[in-house]
Structure 1
Amino acid sequence: MEMRDVTSSSSFWIRSSYDFSSPRSETLSNLPLQISLYFNIFYSPLLILLLSAAYLNKFPLLPGYYQFVSIIVLLLVFGLEVSRLYLGYRGNLGELVPHLTGCCILSALQIICCLYLILNLDMLILPIEICVIVPELLFLISQCFCGVWAIQRMVRSQKKKTILELISKRD
């Protein structure tokens, strides 16, 4: 049986130009944010399915203006969820400040929409809605805080790199 050195195989390791021993190539992605986004991706289909079922059941009982508002808010929540998770993943793993900032802004907007769905007493709130939206709110709040923390770390690191580059160009 032939022994092969798997560490030298180019298909096994992704070749990079970074020197991983230097502090300048420190990984800045936020693990708590990534874990929260990961579990939220699996929770989102359940959220969409259960909220859709709940609103289909109570839709005929709502007044006309609440029917219109609830459809708009639900479509907003579903659309924000998909784009927010994409921006969060892309921003955290790619260490991209604009994407993470977009994720935090969309999370704040989605928190407002979710609070409207469970705190508006005129909309006939079902218990399943509370059971589904409360964990989503916990995901959103944790992702907002972790996202801001990750943005601060990335901006601080990029600022240091820029200062070092300016100093090295001047010399």
Structure 2
Amino acid sequence: MALYFNAFFFPFWFIGCLVILELKWQRLDDLYRIVLVAIYIVYFIIESIRLYLGYLGNLMERVPELAGSWLLTLLLSFPLILLLVVNDNAVLLPFERALHIVMGLFVLFEVVLGYLAIRTMVDYQVTKYHLQQFSDLEQMDDNDYFPETRYTS
């Protein structure tokens, strides 16, 4: 659900950041103009790819896509949003700080839940693989086998 709500919040966050960037453009140093534009462009690209991989991995139960989304979240999105929240030299406005904090909470929540989802999915697929050695799973219903992992008991 975190990816779902993040997918709806992301366009509003991005539009809000662009409007605020336009409002404070004259007060920024040349260095921060370049840095902020670069951060917003990179974050837009990363976030689009990350949300796509997260949806694809979650809906199709594919571990590589879900792991790719989690790694993008942990290694790129989280440090960038943290930089936007903490850097006071970029003339942060209160609305901008609120937008970044909400996005940062989404990203932090997705890091934790993404790890748990990947671990659960890997446990399930490993158990399913081991069950294929003993029976023909194509003839079994989904209700006939459910692995007993630490999350289902």
Matches within 5 A, 1:1-171: 35-108=1-74, 109-166=76-133
1:84 match: secondary structure = helix
Opposite residue 101 of structure 1, the aligned amino acid is A
Deviations 1:116-170 (A, max 9, x none): 112112111111111111111111111111111110011111111222334569x
Q: How far apart are residue 106 of structure 1 and its match?
A: 1.5
Give the letter aligned to residue 76 of structure 1: V
Task: Output the TM-score relative to the length of structure 2.
Answer: 0.82
Aligned residues: 135
Structure 1 residue runs without a partner (length 5+): 1-34
Residues 32-84 of structure 1: CA deviation (Å, up to 9, x unaligned): xxx11111121111101100011111122221221111111111111122111
Moved more, 85-94 or 160-169: 160-169
SS at 1:125 equivalent: coil
TM, length-normalised to structure 1: 0.73
Bigger radius of gyration = 1
Distance in 2, matches of 1:133 and 1:154, equals: 30
Q: CA RMSD in A?
A: 1.6
Structure 1 residue ranges, 4+ long, deviating more than 6 angstroms after superposition: none
Unmatched segments (≥5 aa) in structure 2 = 137-153
Bigger relative contact order, structure 1 or 2 (CA pairs below 8 A, ≥6 apart): 1
The one-letter code of the counterpart of 1:103 is S
Instruction: State which drifts further: 57-66 or 119-128.
Output: 57-66
What is the aligned-residue identity percentage? 33
